[in-house]
Structure 1
Amino acid sequence: MKLRSIVPSVLMATSVSAMAGDFTLTSTDIAQGKTLSSDHVYQGFGCTGGNLSPQLSWNNAPEGTKAFAVLAYDPDAPTGSGWWHWQIVNIPSDVNTLPKGIGTSENQHVLGATQYSNDYGEIGFGGACPPKGHGPHRYQFTVHALSKVLDLPENPTSAIVGYMVNGHTIDTASIEAIYEAK
């Protein structure tokens, strides 16, 4: 009896995950497993770079997508909780490209979306800046297809943004680049 009730659930999960995977993220600035250029390195905090957000484009959003969020995260930061470099939420569902350099504090409300504080304490994109000698860090740029436009508080923490984004994600697509400060 229990097996009969489990089988439909397993088949449903298999068919949904088999259909997933068409949602893709591409960039003219960053590439999977490749080193970030100095354009995408933070300016400050002991680092010298252009502090420009990379160009990102996504295709084949899943049915039911109401908005997008783009999050950039370094899981290797020696904080115990990683480091959030960029959080742009409620990108309209008809937008599928972010141009290079759009992640500035002057553009907090851009393309109908909102950029929130990164872990440098600034609105917008904050580039790579791992501690010197700490080895290579991974920078995960992920676009989330959201099931709804999110209602976030005025100054949410990175944890609240992540919680709400992940709680309403239909599918994701990512590029993981690397950077090491020497």
Structure 2
Amino acid sequence: MKLSIDGWENGHEIPGKFAFGIPAEEGHVALSTNKSPALAWSDAPEGTRSFAIICHDPDVPSSGEDVNQEGKTVPADLPRIDFYHWVMVNIPTDYSSLAEGEVSDGITAKGKPPGAKPYGVTGLNNFTDWFAGDPEMGGSYGGYDGPCPPWNDSIVHHYHFTIYALDVEKLDLPGDFGGPEVLAAMEGHVLASGSYVGTYSLNPDVPA
């Protein structure tokens, strides 16, 4: 399968309009427009009954001890884990694209509700965990929310957008599902996939 994104060249820097956070004129991070990018996919194999989309960042620090701390830098050799920015399943086969801003157009404090949409079913992204306990931002973050890596990280972050062609119309998932649950439910049902990558950094000393 082929996946394309209208907004940046594959493997290159993601524009700030698709991010959750951008460099601030004062301080470190300012909130951005958080638009979901325009995706288009093709060459789905025969027998495809639905699509799924996952966007994940595999470069997230496994420990938050040094994250966004003045006078510290997140070391490059720190083990990294996955952070899911977008999880969507049960996309009908008559869809082959999503317009810019169709899934997200701005930052919604306390998150956008997951669940059934015209273009599929959105799951929870990991901003749900990141903002847990925050009285102003805590909530259930469904759909797309863009890059916002630590402003003091020593490495560039990579965002992998992947489209999956599945041999089932609907995946059997719990009510509140995220990336790991979707990956487990898709096992044995993926006919084909295609990926597109973008890079991002909020550390001025580590350009994307």
Q: Which amino acid aligns with 1:94?
A: D
Percent identity for Structure 1 against Structure 2: 30
Aligned pairs (5 A) from 1:133-172: 133-134=152-153, 135-148=155-168, 149-172=170-193
Aligned Cα root-mean-square deviation (Å): 1.9
Q: For residues 86 and 47 of structure 1, what CA distance do their matches in structure 2 show? A: 21
TM-score, length-scaled by structure 1: 0.80
The structure-2 alpha-carbon separation of the partners of 1:143 and 1:151, relative to structure 1 and needing over 3 Å to count, comes to same
The structure-2 alpha-carbon separation of the partners of 1:181 and 1:93, relative to structure 1 and needing over 3 Å to count, comes to same
2:156 equivalent to 1:118? no
Deviation at 1:168, TM superposition (A): 1.7
Over 6 Å off, 4+ runs: none
Q: Provide Cα deviations, 1:102-138, integer angstroms capped at 9, x if missing partner.
A: 2233684223410111000101111001111312100
Q: Which has the higher contact order (CA 8 A, sep 6+)?
A: 2
Higher-strand-fraction structure: 2
Q: What SS is found at the alignment partner of 2:6?
A: coil
Q: What SS is found at the alignment partner of 1:83?
A: strand
Q: Any stretches of 5+ residues in structure 2 without a counterpart?
A: 23-28, 63-79, 105-111, 129-140, 204-208
TM-score, length-scaled by structure 2: 0.71
Q: Which residue in 2 is equivalent to 1:128?
A: 147
Paired residues, number: 159
1:92–1:111 Cα contact (<8 Å) kept: no
Q: For residues 47 and 160 of structure 1, what CA distance do their matches in structure 2 show? A: 31
Q: Which residue in 1 is equivalent to 2:7?
A: 29
Q: Which residue in 2 is equivalent to 1:39?
A: 17
Higher-helix-fraction structure: 1
